[in-house]
Each structure stands twice: as structure tokens, then as C-alpha cells.
Amino acid sequence: MDRSDNSAHETRILDAAERLFYARGVQAVGMDELRTAAGVSLKRLYQSFPSKEVLVTAYLDRRDERWLSSLRTFVGDGGVLEVFTWLVQWFGSEDFRGCAFLNAFGELGDQVVRPVRRHKDRLRAYLRELAVREGASDPDLRADQLLILVDGATVTAMLGRPNAAGAALRLALPDMRG
């Protein structure tokens, strides 16, 4: 079995891990259930990821990559308005359950602080780019504020408030109409 097959297995494992960990939390999902969902043997699962902790980190890192690049692609040359439009779509998706990174941190604490912080740092860096692009007078403050609005809207939406993204958008762009 060659390298490309191996990474195909890793992909299947990470797909299952993301679906299950995000939907139900890390500790609620056992390695055995994960093996079944991924359709690989326990042996191969442990060959690909030598412990659950390693798998959790890999899950978060890949989610960071994909989540941010989905956002970037959607926003394109746009700005803050497009960010919140993307959030509305995300919040409305069937399996939305808040921020995977905040949830993981609440559950596992220091054990995942590195990938969680990395994700939020990268998100903030992107928001700072947008702040610069829109000509903010203090891009660092603006980035902090946008991060607060994105995370605040996300956790509020998680608990079922329908209009979280809209309310946050009006704080981000107070001069908007509508």
C-alpha cells in the first residue's frame, strides 16, 4: 500500500473525525465509533494517528485551513459585509453547532490551546487585512472589534438567536441601510 492510499485513509479518518467531533464533542466520540464511521481498521487508524490527542489536533488544524479558505474565497475582493453574509449562511447550515475551536477549548482546555489560538490568530490576521483594505484608521483595533463581533455572533447563533449575524453587522457597519 503506497503513500497516496495512505493519505486517502487519512482523509477518510479526518472527514469522520470532523463530522463526529464537531457534532457531538471530542470526548463523546470513541475511537471505535470513529473507526466504524471512517471505514478503516483500528490498526490503520492508529498507524495514521498514533493517539486520539494527535487526531484531535489534526482535525482542528485541517478545519482551520478549510474554514478560513472558505471564508476568504467567499469574500473575495469584498469586505465586512461579505464576511457577515458568509456567517449567515454558515449559521443557517444544517449541522451548525458554533465554533469548533471554542467548543474544543471549553471541553479540553490547555490540551488544545495551541491549535485554537492559532486559528483565532489567523482569523484576526485576515480581519486585519480587511480593515486595512477598507482604510481603517486603527487596523488593530478594528481587527479586534471584528473578531469580537464574529465570535460573539457565532456563540449567540449557536444558542438559537436567529438574527445574530444581522445585529453584529449593524455594529460593524453602523452606517448601513436596512
Partner DNA sequence: TAGGCTAGAGAACGTACGTTCTCTAGCGCA
Partner DNA sequence: TGCGCTAGAGAACGTACGTTCTCTAGCCTA
Establish if 76 lies at the interface with a copy of itself (CB under 8 A): no
Establish if 69 lies at the interface with DNA (CB under 7 A): no
Establish if 1 lies at the interface with DNA (CB under 7 A): yes
For 87, which DSSP code?
Answer: H
Binding DNA (rule: CB under 7 A), the pick from 4, 43, 76, 137 is 43
Whether the CB-CB separation of 56 and 119 falls below 8 Å is answered with no
What is d(CA 169, CA 87) in angstroms, rounded to the nearest whole number? 10
Binding a copy of itself (rule: CB under 8 A), the pick from 32, 109, 125, 133 is 109
Closest separation between CB of residue 118 and a copy of itself, Å?
Answer: 10
Closest separation between CB of residue 176 and a copy of itself, Å?
Answer: 13
What is d(CA 177, CA 41) in angstroms, rounded to the nearest whole number? 56
Establish if 88 lies at the interface with a copy of itself (CB under 8 A): no
By residue count, the chain amounts to 178
Establish if 28 lies at the interface with a copy of itself (CB under 8 A): yes
Closest separation between CB of residue 52 and DNA, Å?
Answer: 4
Closest separation between CB of residue 119 and DNA, Å?
Answer: 23
Establish if 72 lies at the interface with a copy of itself (CB under 8 A): no
Establish if 60 lies at the interface with a copy of itself (CB under 8 A): no
| Cα 55 → chain centroid | 16
User: Which of 23, 141 has the CB closer to DNA?
Assistant: 23
Whether the CB-CB separation of 6 and 48 falls below 8 Å is answered with yes
- Under rule CB under 7 A, which residues in 10-29 are in contact with DNA? 27-29
Three-state DSSP state, 8: helix
Full DSSP string of 48-76: HSSSHHHHHHHHHHHHHHHHHHHHHHHHT
The CA-atom distances, in angstroms, between 110 and each of 90, 104, 170 are 27, 10, 34
Applying CB under 7 A, the residues found at the interface with DNA are 1, 27-32, 40-44, 46, 50-53
